[in-house]
Amino acid sequence: MSNFSGQIRAFSTLIRHLRQRFSHPARLLQVHCYTTTEGNRPTIVHKRSLDILHDPWFNKGTAFSMTERDRLDLRGLLPPNVMSTEQQIERFMVDLKRLQQQARDGPSDPYALAKWRILNRLHDRNETMYYKVLIANIKEYAPIVYTPTVGLVCQNYGGLFRRPRGMYFSAADRGEMMSMVYNWPAEQVDMIVVTDGSRILGLGDLGVQGIGIAIGKLDLYVAAAGINPQRVLPVMIDVGTNNEKLLNDPLYLGLQQHRLDGDEYIAVIDEFMEAVFSRWPHVIVQFEDFQSKWAFKLLQRYRNTYRMFNDDVQGTAGVAIAGLLGAVRAQGRSMIDFPKQKIVVAGAGSAGIGVLNAARKTMARMLGDTETAFDSARSQFWVVDAKGLITEERQNTDLEAQPFARKVREVNRQGLGEGANLVEVVREVKPDVLLGLSAVGGLFSKEVLEAMKSSTSTRPAIFAMSNPTKNAECTPEEAFSIVGENVIFASGSPFKDVDLGNGHIGHCNQGNNMYLFPGIGLGTLLSGSRIISDGMLQAAAECLAAYMTEEEVFKGVIYPSISSIRDITKEVAAAVVKEAIEEDLAEGYRDMDARELGRFSQDEIVEYVEKNMWTPEYPTLVYKDH
Ligand SMILES: NC(=O)c1ccc[n+]([C@@H]2O[C@H](COP(=O)([O-])OP(=O)(O)OC[C@H]3O[C@@H](n4cnc5c(N)ncnc54)[C@H](O)[C@@H]3O)[C@@H](O)[C@H]2O)c1
Ligand SMILES: O=C(O)C[C@H](O)C(=O)O
Ligand SMILES: [Mg+2]
Q: Does 467 belong to an annotated binding site?
A: yes
What is the pLDDT at residue 29? 39
Per-residue pLDDT tens over the stretch 180-205: 999 999 999 999 999 999 999 999 99
**569 in ligand 2 pocket by Cβ < 6 Å?**
no
- For 43-98, give the DSSP string: PP-S--HHHHHT-TTT--GGG--HHHHHHTT-TTSS-SS---HHHHHHHHHHHHHH
What is the pLDDT at residue 93? 85
Of 474, 425, 468, 485, nearest to 445 by C-alpha is 474
pTM of the model: 0.91
**426 in ligand 1 pocket by Cβ < 6 Å?**
no
**Residue 265 dihedral angles phi and psi, to the nearest 5°:** -65, -50
Q: Residues 182, 171: contact at Cβ < 8 Å?
A: no
What is the pLDDT at residue 25? 40
What is the pLDDT at residue 16? 52
Q: Does 59 belong to an annotated binding site?
A: no
- For 320-386, give the DSSP string: HHHHHHHHHHHTT--GGGGGG--EEEE--SHHHHHHHHHHHHHHHHHTTS-HHHHHHHGGGEEEEET
What is the pLDDT at residue 111? 85
ipTM over 0.90: yes
Gap between the Cα atoms of 191 and 405, Å rounded: 37
**465 in ligand 1 pocket by Cβ < 6 Å?**
yes
What is the pLDDT at residue 624? 85
Q: Which residues of the chain have pLDDT under 50?
A: 1-2, 18-37, 106-107
Of 284, 243, 250, 290, nearest to 268 by C-alpha is 290
Of 572, 604, 577, nearest to 588 by C-alpha is 577
**Rounded distance from Cα 384 to ligand 1 centre (Å):** 11
**Residue 613 dihedral angles phi and psi, to the nearest 5°:** -90, 125
The catalytically annotated residue of 217, 361, 570, 578 is: 217
Q: Residues 397, 282: contact at Cβ < 8 Å?
A: no
Atom of ligand 1 nearest to the CA of 492: 1
Per-residue pLDDT tens over the stretch 267-281: 999 999 999 999 999
**201 in ligand 2 pocket by Cβ < 6 Å?**
yes
Element (H, E) at 211: helix 211-225
